[in-house]
Amino acid sequence: MSAPTALHPADARARFRDGLVTPTTGWCDGWVQANLITIPSANAWDVLLFAQRNPKSCPVLDVLEAGEISGPLLGGPDGDVRTDLPAYRVYRDGELVETVPDVRDHWRDDLVSFLLGCSFTFERALLAAGVPVRHIARGCNVPMYRTTRRCRSAGALGGPLVVSMRPIPEALVQRAVEITARYPETHGAPVQVGDPGALGITDLDDPDYGDPVPVAPGEVPVFWACGVTPQAAVVESRLPLVIAHEPGHMLITDTPEPLVG
Amino acid sequence: MSAPTALHPADARARFRDGLVTPTTGWCDGWVQANLITIPSANAWDVLLFAQRNPKSCPVLDVLEAGEISGPLLGGPDGDVRTDLPAYRVYRDGELVETVPDVRDHWRDDLVSFLLGCSFTFERALLAAGVPVRHIARGCNVPMYRTTRRCRSAGALGGPLVVSMRPIPEALVQRAVEITARYPETHGAPVQVGDPGALGITDLDDPDYGDPVPVAPGEVPVFWACGVTPQAAVVESRLPLVIAHEPGHMLITDTPEPLVG
């Protein structure tokens, strides 16, 4: 299945609101995609401080304060962060209790939502520069891994760095680094090139989130910091309630991609 | 008086702890300087969110959580944010009650301290590129102005953008813009070149903080976002207790200046 590249974000969000469940990689060329992390306001300080201290994995694009269900990134008053993503995970006390396309039943007025940059944003630039993106070519989700590298903690909140992986032909690795370095708000340059073991990843075929993709001979697995990182932290820290996007199933925002290069 | 450019930050902080009161512009070449804003933890969420929403004026370098009086930027356990800056302002309910070299008498265990980037950090790069910095040449503080431009608010917190001003020879303005643009963590490129009226500044000789400096014929007043911005916001918003650096009297940190260029 190939993603609808030319769709406007509002139309994509309307499809998700109507029930379509799909990873969003390759969708809506030219628009920023975002991770969602929603927690009770009592935990919001720790999450915002965690993001500030781990900016490479948690670049904050915007925050919806307690009681807000929309904002500029969701198209203004008509948006609804509870329905406009393709799929959500709901965790209670650190346990995954549900994966659903709509979280209105779980909503409370004290919930605060963080919208964080996503590496899907730079994939168009990679493709435009001739760097292949395997999971887009295969029409699947990007593989993501929990690493043994710890984030800097904040209050009660700590957890591992989570990364996304793209196999890149050796000759194009430098180009991929240069291009993604220009996108600091969506994770920037890779955190690791080659050697998955340096991140404590023992089996590339068994990602912790998303779908596995093959790494061909002559290709190098390249790892970028991933916006699932704070989701792993709030789960590990057993916050009483966490709502997050299903990894790879992002908010497609009304923010145009930055012009860089 | 010329500033001690070759001093190590730890030695500078020791002098301030011993009672020396002076602006820090030009001090300790090669080390990042920082703004301080200290508020009760009940207000910390609003301040951190305000900083996240106004990153150009409020680049967060680090946060000392409630009960902490030091951290890596202050040289570790021996540092003390209550004594190691040259001078502090203490506000209660939005009113300036004291300017003092030591705030231990005002300290409480629920206070949270934000350390924010300062434009003094890029002045060495300006000088190295042949761009004169008037207030350093004159041995005085940089002039700062409250503008009519409003920041994006956060919770109960709102206020005006505060800017610092440096007169730059016309032929060097482009260079000054290019150089400072490389320092996004210390306010980056100017917010305004020339025309003080566009920011609502009516009299350059009457700054709201710091010292006036003359703008010579052939020079253009150039304005950068200033880390006094959150201080203006917490005062305008009448937080019950605010401790901040005296403008221009910064924390000199143990963080080396970023290598850019």
Q: Would you say domain A9-119+237-256 falls under CATH 3.40.1640.10?
A: yes
Q: Residue B126's Cα: distance from chain center in Å?
A: 17
Ramachandran category for residue B138: left, alpha or beta (phi over 0 → left; psi -120 to 50 → alpha): alpha
Per the CB < 8 Å rule, is A49 touching B48? yes
Instruction: Give me the residues of chain B with pLDDT under 70, please.
Output: 1, 259-261
Top residue of A45, A68, A260 to mutate, by most chain B CBs within 10 Å, is A45
pLDDT at res. B233: 94
> What's the pLDDT at B107?
97
Mean pLDDT of A1-24: 92
- Asked whether the beta carbons of A6 and A77 are under 8 A apart, the reply is no
Q: Quickly tell me which residue has 């039943």 as its tokens.
A: A105
CB-closest option in B41, B52, B65 to A48? B52
Check: CB of residue B54 under 8 Å from CB of residue B259: no
Q: How far is CA B160 from each of CA B50, B147, B189, rounded to the nearest angstrom? A: 12, 6, 19
For B110, the token pair is: 């629920």
Look at residue A3 in the predicted model and tell me its pLDDT: 83
**Is the confidence at residue A67, as pLDDT, over 70?**
yes
Helix (H, G, I), strand (E, B) or coil at A233: helix
Closest C-alpha to B226, from B137, B166, B176, B168:
B166
User: Do residues B240 and B38 make contact, with C-beta atoms less than 8 angstroms apart?
Assistant: no
Quick one: pLDDT at residue A185? 82
Interface of B with A (CB under 8 A): 41, 44-45, 48-49, 52-53, 60, 63, 65, 154-155
At A124-137, the pLDDT tens digits run 889 999 999 999 99
Q: If phi over 0 gives left and psi between -120 and 50 gives alpha, with beta otherwise, what is residue A42?
A: alpha
**Residue A60 pairs with which residues in a beta bridge?**
A116
B75-115 pLDDT per residue, tens:
999 999 999 999 999 999 999 999 999 999 999 999 999 99
Domains A9-119+237-256 and A140-229 share a fold: no
pLDDT for the residue B124: 87
CB pairs below 8 Å between A and B: how many?
A: 27
Cβ pair B29, B8 in contact under 8 A: no
- Per CB-CB distance under 8 Å, the chain B contacts of A153 are none
Residue of A nearest to B66 (CA): A155
Residues A163-194 pLDDT 10s: 999 999 999 999 999 999 988 888 899 999 99
Q: Is A155's CB within 8 Å of B44's CB? A: no
CATH superfamily for domain A140-229? PSTPO5379-like domain (3.30.2040.10)
pLDDT at position A260: 60
Where along chain B do its domains lie? 9-119+237-256, 121-225
When CB atoms are compared, the residue of B44, B52, B154 closest to A45 is B44
CA dist., res. A40 & res. A67, Å (int): 10
Residues of B in contact with A39 (CB under 8 A): none
Strand stretches in chain A, DSSP E: 31-40, 60-64, 88-92, 95-100, 111-117, 144-150, 160-169, 192-193, 219-225, 241-245, 251-256
Please, are residues A73 and A118 in contact by the beta-carbon 8 Å criterion? no
pLDDT for position B165: 97
pLDDT value of residue A257: 84
- Which chain B residues have a beta carbon less than 8 Å from that of A49? 48, 63, 65
Please answer yes or no on whether B52 and A49 come within 8 Å at the CB atom. Answer: no
Alpha-carbon distance A45 to nearest alpha carbon in chain B (angstroms): 5
Q: Rounded to a whole number, what is the distance in Å from the CA of A5 to chain B's nearest CA?
A: 30
Residues in chain A closer than 8 A to B154 (CB atoms): 65
Q: Tell which CATH architecture fits domain B121-225.
A: 2-Layer Sandwich (3.30)
**Of the candidates B60, B65, B155, which has its C-beta nearest A65's C-beta?**
B155
Candidates A48, A53, A154; nearest CB to B49: A48
Calpha distance A191→B145 (Å, rounded): 41
Which DSSP string corresponds to B196-212? GGGGT---TTS-SBS--
Identity of the residue in A48, A65, A155 whose CB atom sits nearest the CB atom of B65? A155
Which of B50, B52, B61, B185 best probes binding to A when mutated, by most A CB atoms within 10 angstroms?
B52
pLDDT of amino acid A259: 63
Residue A1 confidence (pLDDT) above 80: no
Name which of B39, B46, B48 to mutate to probe chain A: the one with the most chain A Cβ atoms within 10 A of its Cβ.
Answer: B48
Mean pLDDT over A210-232 rounds to 95
The overall average pLDDT reported for chain A is: 93
